[in-house]
Amino acid sequence: MIQEERVEALNAMERRKGKYVLYWMQASQRAQCNHALEYAIVQADALGIPVVAFFGITDSFPEGNQRHYKFMLEGLRDAKRSLEKRGIQLVIQRCSPERGASMMSRDAALAVVDRGYLRIQKAWRRDGAAAMDCPLLQVESDVVVPVKEASPKEEYSAATIRKKLRRKLTSYLVPLKEARPLADSLALDFESFPVEDVEQALSHLEVDRSVQPVPVLRGGSEEAGRHLEIFLDEKLEHYAEFRNDPTRSYLSLMSPYLHFGQISPLHIALRISGSGAADAEAYLEELIVRRELGINFVFYNDRYDTFASLPDWAIGSLKAHGQDPRPYRYSRREFEEGNTHDPYWNAAQREMVLRGKMHGYMRMYWGKKILEWSSTPEEAYQTAIYLNNKYELDGRDPSGFMGVAWCFGKHDRPWGERPIFGNIRYMNAGGLKRKFDADGYVQLVRRWESQNAEVGAEGNDLPR
DNA sequence: ATCGGCTCGCGCAA
DNA sequence: TGCGCGAAGCCGAT
């Protein structure tokens, strides 16, 4: 079911005769549980024409590097294969997405695009819509509840959006029907950037190669589905108990796949929900409430990647303590190399640099300490955003921007005033030790690093 | 081990 | 206008 609240016309063009319906794939890089794709199929069937899918790959996505591109190409390879099985051609071109999409729209009756919430994604859609002579319809496919339906404004906390989201779940937490288009587009003649051989495709892109691809996770909808099944079979029943213990592997690993749209949050939620068990509820809290709070944040707050996005009380309090002496002070480079005095912080940083993913619990401690050990809170904020975007596979994602902001007071309440932090919630290493074997975590990261140095990617398995 | 205070402001009840 | 309560905690008192 495609609720009409998911659909929005991005320009005022009239429908016209055309050879196909264009699905401009951008955020939802998958063939399964994709409302935008299904919407395009419904439109095409009604017009008696096929669907052509298009993806524009730009070498210069801001802060994108080889690590991200490889993961994305693995996903595009899966998407192309899966679409072909349904008789839909995926045309991939090296170009700025909105320009490629508008070129491809010339022979289209209408165009459909998925929704993105970041500045650049909004700009691409706006510019694409303006350049097209046919209608461009946006269909929101990477959230359970459409962002404007969840709330008409920037939310103050998880508590405020939680109630609003819960009220809407009966309408939106429902399966999407998938169809094979009546007309096939495989025979249409288009040039496409080949992605079947991912290494070769990667070598043809002129991207930043300073960060290595990750040894553990491979991209694509197929891998996403495999990890989801492992999570459901082996991990979900202990999720509430172990999710905040980074020495155990009890997370779903969905966030990189969600970031690239290689899996649908609706699909995950439908697989999880129903039991009502505490573990399922805890997971749905992360998947829906927390994730869609992040989307609310970046959608309504244009300064989502800066210190200025914080609430007034946090900015005032941090500024009032801007001159407080810092017990330790590190440069961006010292942080980046994981060379602080704190073995727990260094372990978290190195986990991220090596594996493209930092454990959720450690992300909080990591950000809080960057604030504590930087010259100014503004500099700390920039450092955290820079490192997160560069190394995390799910960097440059609403959840990541929100995660950094939370460490600086966003979506949180004020706490007892103290040096440097002011009223921002404080965390220290004692908290880690109370919750899990913090020294065991340091050892674990060391093992990952030495395994990676010795045998390369093959020996690098997840902890059990 | 457990508990209250820390401190601001949203959102709803009245 | 008043009041309850909040993304993951810390700290000191008991």
Q: What is the side-by-side order of every strand in the sheet holding A108-114? A: A7-9, A136-139, A108-114, A20-24, A51-57, A89-94
Q: A289 CA to C2 C1', in Å?
A: 29
- Strand B contacts in A 147-176 (CB under 7 A): 155-156, 160, 163
- A433 Cβ within 7 A of any nucleic strand C atom: no
Q: How confident is the model at residue A97 (pLDDT cuts 50, 70, 90)?
A: very high
**Longest CA pairwise span in chain A (Å):** 70
* Spacing of A148 CA from B12 C1' in Å: 22
Quickly count: other Cβ atoms within 10 Å of residue A163's Cβ.
9
Selection from A310, A301, A456, A452 nearest residue A381 by Cα: A310
Q: Give A410 CA → B6 C1' in Å.
A: 18
Q: Which nucleotide has its C1' atom closest to residue A155's CA?
A: B10
Give distance CA A368 / C1' B1 (Å).
Answer: 27
- Percent of chain A at pLDDT above 70? 97
Q: What is the mean pLDDT of residues A65-82?
A: 97
Ordered DSSP codes for A164-215: HHHHHHHHHSS-------SS--TTS-------SSHHHHHHHS--B-SSPPPS
- A190 contact to strand B (CB, 7 A limit): no
Q: List, in order, residues 6 or more apart from A204 with CB less than 8 Å away.
A: A193
Out of A82-96, A172-186, A229-243, A383-397, pick the least confident: A229-243
Q: Which nucleotide is nearest to A428 (CA to C1')?
A: C10
Residue type at A99?
A: R
Strand C closer than 7 A to residue A82 Cβ? no
Cβ(A207)–Cβ(A390) below 8 Å? no
From the CA of A358 to the C1' of B9: give the distance in Å.
32
- Positions of strand C less than 7 angstroms from a protein CB: 5-11
Query: Measuring from the CA of residue A153 to each C1', which nucleotide is nearest?
Result: B10
Contact call for residues A151 and A296 (beta carbons, < 8 A): yes
How long is the CA A157 to C1' B1 vector, in angstroms? 31
pLDDT at A378 over 90: yes
Dist. CA A246–CA A242, nearest whole Å: 8
**For residue A118, which amino acid is it?**
L
Examine the pLDDT at A402 and tell me if it is beyond 60: yes
> What is the distance in angstroms measured between the alpha-carbon CA of A408 and the sugar C1' of C10?
16
Q: How many Å from the CA of A163 to C1' of B13?
A: 17
Please tell me the predicted confidence (pLDDT) of residue A456.
Answer: 54
Nearest nucleotide over every DNA/RNA strand to the A316 CA, judged by C1': B8
pLDDT in tens, A432-454: 888 889 999 999 999 999 988 77
Task: Return all residues near A244 (Cβ < 8 A) that are at least 6 apart.
Answer: A360, A361, A435, A436
Q: Please tell me whether any atom of strand B lies within 7 Å of the Cβ of A305.
A: no
Question: With 60 as the cut, is the pLDDT of residue A209 above it?
Answer: yes
pLDDT in tens, A350-373: 999 999 999 988 999 999 999 999
Position A279 scores a pLDDT of 87
Residues A145 and A164: their CA atoms lie apart, in Å, by 10
Residues 346-385 of A with CB under 7 A from strand C: 360-361, 364
pLDDT in the model for residue A276: 64
pTM of this structure: 0.95
Write down the pLDDT at residue A90.
98
Note the pLDDT of residue A265: 97
Residue pair A183/A48 in contact (Cβ under 8 Å)? The answer is yes
Mean pLDDT of chain A: 93
Q: Are strands A20-24 and A108-114 parallel, antiparallel or unpaired?
A: parallel
Q: What is the pLDDT of residues A4-29, one digit of tens each?
A: 999 999 999 999 999 999 999 999 99
